[in-house]
Amino acid sequence: MPRSVGSGRIGRLKKSRKGLPTHLRVLIIDTQEPRTMSTTADLVTALKKELKTAQMTYADLAQALGMAESSVKRMLAKGDMPLSRIDAICRALALDFADLARRVADEQPLLKELTHEQEKAVVADKKLLLMAICVLSQWTLEQVTGYYRLTDAEGIKYLAQLDRIGIIELRPLNRYRLKLAKTFRWRPHGPVMNYFRDHALLDYFAGGFDGLGEGVLLVHGNISRSLAPAFMERMQRVAQDFAQQHLADQKLPDREREGYTLLLAMRSWEFEAFASMRR
């Protein structure tokens, strides 16, 4: 696990020279609508795919259900039926209902952004924010509770809340699947980024950037507006490389890893003190 942890403003974390938790460092560089539960129509669509895969005809299914073939066709075409009927079709396919629901969930579009209200809920509870940051770096529940002062019960509670929000899909044995797109980011002026601006940026830049593998570059210039997006794309690739390396190095022992924060930024900006001296 990372050796340096974050500011006491995030949960009850110990102070450190480097400021942010290692997993927050990955989250910052990766800077829709809430997920809804599977509808009956989604389940029926998935059932049709399973019937096709199993090469089970409507006639075969009708016989297994004790129904007329025309009734089965009409029922599936309408896309609406009670869960008891869906469960009966699952039994005919020798398919567990939980597996069907999981497949439906896996096909739901990944979130690129949370709503303002979802972010507000996350940042309102600092332990929930901490858990959200941890799952973005794909920490296990055991890693989180072993590193921070959270009980197993608290950890499970916060995982369940993240499941309801749509950040993860909670699975048996407290495992989870991240439901965020690779292009996921916090809302630029949303509650989470505002929290980081208020509590993290000054702490981050208070460092000397003079340690091994550390540095800060500040470059100003006037360039073509049409070329600015190309520079942003390059920065995004660097950020993705950093995040992928973070995941790849999880197999290394703790003593061989160090927590780093990579913060990439570019905007049209002039220092206020200089701007005030313009002619």
**Which pLDDT score is estimated for 78?**
85
Q: Is residue 231 predicted with pLDDT exceeding 90?
A: yes
Q: If you average pLDDT over residues 180-204, what whole number do you get?
A: 90
Q: How many CB atoms lie within 10 A of CB 230?
A: 11
Please tell me the least confidently modeled range out of 2-6, 181-185, 229-233.
2-6
pLDDT digits (tens, 9 = 90+) for 140-154: 999 999 989 999 999
As its CATH architecture, domain 40-106 has Orthogonal Bundle (1.10)
**Which pLDDT score is estimated for 206?**
93
Q: Is the dihedral of CA 131, 134, 138, 142 positive or negative?
A: negative
Rounded to 5 degrees, what are φ and ψ at 177? Answer: -120, 130
SS percent in the chain: helix, strand, coil, step 5: 55, 5, 45
**DSSP-assigned letter for residue 138:** T
pLDDT digits (tens, 9 = 90+) for 48-60: 888 998 999 999 9
**Which pLDDT score is estimated for 151?**
96
Share of the chain above pLDDT 70, in %: 84
Domain with CATH 1.10.260.40 in the chain: 40-106
Please tell me the least confidently modeled range out of 17-21, 102-106, 167-171, 242-246.
17-21
- Please, are residues 46 and 39 in contact by the beta-carbon 8 Å criterion? no
- Please, are residues 239 and 183 in contact by the beta-carbon 8 Å criterion? no
**Which pLDDT score is estimated for 5?**
33
Q: Is residue 35 predicted with pLDDT exceeding 80?
A: no
